[in-house]
Structure 1
């Protein structure tokens, strides 16, 4: 199956990055910003919307208001900018995760589900997912609020297919974890 052209991807690149100690999107691994590494792994035909309170040198960039409202608030801020029939949600601290998007799209086409979400067998990761756009809008509409709630709440009323990620979905929250990928600089 070829990758669907009508796909938007939301890259969550904001947050306080308290465990990292620096803005994750700006941290460099082997001289490349995590934001740029994440973008490089998104299929080129996808429309991308970045969510961050700081300038990334990328457009469109949006931010929830007020800033730092959590990933669901960021998704809600970005979704109006997404024109695709499918919407991916990726976190900047998991730069290889977008490599799963083609497999996720194939599974979304094969199964009668709202979303494909990467799972480690125990936990489903809503920040590594691909949705039918309308289903994501409905999931957001069902929430009492979008600020300061866990992203997994999006999955509560959605029909989801869980995909074993095989490690590509690995996120890096601390400098020590990120050093596994190479030399880091801030």
Structure 2
């Protein structure tokens, strides 16, 4: 069983306002992420960090961080616990952030071809650790590394091994993410 998790728990400090509600091509980033990922997975959930009220209008299962204010790694670990409790040891969790408006429609298929390792998306010569596929069976190993102080997603993934699947960046990078008003402005067609 494949679970999807939209990571929407960030504080959007550099953007200066909640990225989830930024409008791009007629829809908010949160609704765009959901629309792109939901058809690709068996069950889609929403990670809102420790804030239980945020995005309450979204009708998806909620996954709350195990530890508050520790970054996206906490959302991923909580998502793995959710996927494992709901789908067993054979479940996989595919994670995506809300701030990548061009998530490809073949994301889940390509990230789940390899089943033993963590699989990250890659483009333009770099991997994107928040866009990945995680085996639920690795939860204990990952939690152990987290409790030893590891907070970097790719270093956690090294505990069980990881690979990357590459996507072309022409005509656009599918994993371009927006963190600042300038990056968001550069994303819009009128900026070119």
More helix by share: 2
Specify the alignment match of 1:160 in structure 2. 162
1:127 paired with 2:123, answer no
Structure 2 residue matching 1:140: 3-state secondary structure: helix
Q: Structure 1 residue 148: deviation in Å? A: 8.2
Residue correspondences, number: 174
Q: Structure 1 residue 122: deviation in Å? A: 5.0
The one of the two structures with greater contact order (alpha-carbon pairs below 8 A, sep at least 6) is 1
Specify the alignment match of 1:77 in structure 2. 78
TM-score (norm 1): 0.79
Question: Superposition pairs for residues 45-124 of structure 1, below 5 Å?
Answer: 45-52=41-48, 53=51, 54-58=54-58, 59-64=60-65, 67-82=68-83, 83-84=86-87, 85-97=91-103, 99=105, 100-106=107-113, 108=114, 113-120=116-123, 123-124=126-127
Contact 1:14 1:68 in 2 (8 A): no
Are the structure 2 counterparts of residues 51 and 178 from structure 1 closer, same or farther at C-alpha, using a change threshold of 3 Å?
same
State the distance in 1 between where 2:47 and 2:187 align.
24
Specify the alignment match of 1:177 in structure 2. 183
Gap runs ≥5 in structure 1? 1-5
**Which is worse superposed, 153-162 or 17-26?**
153-162
Contact 2:150 2:156 in 1 (8 A): no
Q: Which runs of at least 4 in structure 1 moved beyond 6 Å after TM superposition?
A: none
TM-score (norm 2): 0.77
Are the structure 2 counterparts of residues 31 and 97 from structure 1 closer, same or farther at C-alpha, using a change threshold of 3 Å?
closer
Q: Structure 1 residue 155: deviation in Å? A: 1.6
Specify the alignment match of 1:3 in structure 2. none
State the distance in 1 between where 2:184 and 2:92 align.
30
Contact 2:77 2:143 in 1 (8 A): no
Cα RMSD (Å): 2.6
